[in-house]
Amino acid sequence: MSEIVTVGIAGSGTMGAGIAIVAARAGFRTLVYDTRQDALDRARKQTDGFFGKSVERKKLTQSEVDAMLAALTGTTRIDDMAGCDIVIEAVFENLQVKHDLLGRLDQVCPAHTLFASNTSTLAITEIAAGSGRPERFVGMHFCLPAQLMKLVEMSPGIRTSAETFERAWAFCKALGQVPVKTKDSPGFILNYFLVPFNNDAIRMVEAGVATPADIDRAIKTGLGYAMGPLELLDLVGLDTHLLVAEALYASTHEPRAAVPALVRRMIAAGHLGRKTGQGFYTYQGNTMFGA
């Protein structure tokens, strides 16, 4: 069983940047690939800010952070991913986009490289079918924000080999994360419950039952959640939530998974959440969730 030394992350959005922090913090050489340099630059700025807060709060020393940042690099050249022992795909929830990316990665990565997907709703078996290496493909759904939350849902596809799953499971533990095994079923565990729940919260706003702040305050105070559903949606992004909810609804036909009309209106207005400065709340600056 070959050792995982170098980790590749394909996609430098909120999830990709968070997973990269997890990998670099655990001592892995980490390479983040994105087609856009401005996206990589934004992710690096957010990463620097996150680690800076970790130093301020005395969770890490400056020398530890310097070593982690030195091990974390970005690239717009997909050929650079050839040196990775595992590549975690973290692009948005569109099967064709994932297949196109994985097909190109399959051409440049050696045979031993494992492929993983951070998908939250799409079928691992279907994504793996376009990877060129379905036996060496596994689902690794990190809980957002990945750099703060320990949970990773590990899902084998139909053709995932036992060795692949064992290697990915061991790697997940080496990251300092907590893996749980799930079947390759719609939404796995978290989003099976979370997407309908978040949609219910949106419908409450839509109906004028309560303000976003009061809904979130009630959920956090009454249920003990660390973050309210509308705060979480702003962090995830309303555009991302739309894709996730549509994928879950297409798989389950669960009425509560159907996207409320308010989501599409907010997207049309450019109110996507933290990344645009306006969602259910207003934000100053584009900052990554703090340490």
Task: Give the start-to-end residue ranges of the domains of the chain.
Answer: 6-181, 191-276
User: What is the model's pLDDT at position 186?
Assistant: 87
Residue 99 bears catalytic tag: no
Residue 120 bears catalytic tag: yes
User: What is the model's pLDDT at position 290?
Assistant: 46
- Does residue 196 sit in helix, strand or coil? helix
User: What is the model's pLDDT at position 288?
Assistant: 46
User: What is the model's pLDDT at position 93?
Assistant: 86
Residue 94 bears catalytic tag: no
Q: pLDDT band at residue 286, thresholds of 50, 70 and 90?
A: low
Q: What is the DSSP string of 238-274?
A: HHHHHHHHHHHHHHH--GGGSPPHHHHHHHHTT--BG
CB 225 within 8 A of CB 190: no
User: What is the model's pLDDT at position 2?
Assistant: 59
Q: Would you say residue 5 has pLDDT above 70?
A: yes
Q: pLDDT band at residue 284, thresholds of 50, 70 and 90?
A: confident
pLDDT digits (tens, 9 = 90+) for 9-44: 999 998 999 999 999 999 999 999 999 999 999 999
Do domains 6-181 and 191-276 share one topology? The answer is: no
Q: Cα separation of 192 and 252, whole Å? A: 9
Percent of the chain scored above 70 by pLDDT? 97
Between 82 and 290, whose confidence is greater?
82
Please state the three-class secondary structure of 8-47 as a single string. Answer: EEECCCHHHHHHHHHHHHCCCEEEEECCCHHHHHHHHHHH
Please state the φ and ψ torsions of residue 166, each to the nearest 5 degrees. Answer: -65, -45
The CATH architecture one would assign to domain 191-276 is Orthogonal Bundle (1.10)
Question: Which residue out of 12, 120, 198, 199 is catalytically annotated?
Answer: 120
Question: Which residue out of 89, 93, 153, 231 is catalytically annotated?
Answer: 153
Q: pLDDT band at residue 291, thresholds of 50, 70 and 90?
A: very low
pLDDT digits (tens, 9 = 90+) for 78-91: 999 999 999 999 99
Q: Cα separation of 15 and 195, whole Å? A: 17
Question: Which residue out of 12, 54, 131, 191 is catalytically annotated?
Answer: 191
Q: Would you say residue 289 has pLDDT above 60?
A: no
Across the chain, what does the average pLDDT equal? 94
Residue 112 bears catalytic tag: no
pLDDT digits (tens, 9 = 90+) for 161-213: 999 999 999 999 999 999 999 999 989 999 999 999 999 999 999 999 999 99
Question: Which residue out of 117, 131, 141, 271 is catalytically annotated?
Answer: 141
pTM: 0.88
Between 108 and 252, whose confidence is greater?
108
User: What is the model's pLDDT at position 1?
Assistant: 45
Tell me the CATH number for domain 6-181.
3.40.50.720
Q: Would you say residue 152 has pLDDT above 90?
A: yes
Q: Would you say residue 133 has pLDDT above 60?
A: yes
User: What is the model's pLDDT at position 92?
Assistant: 86
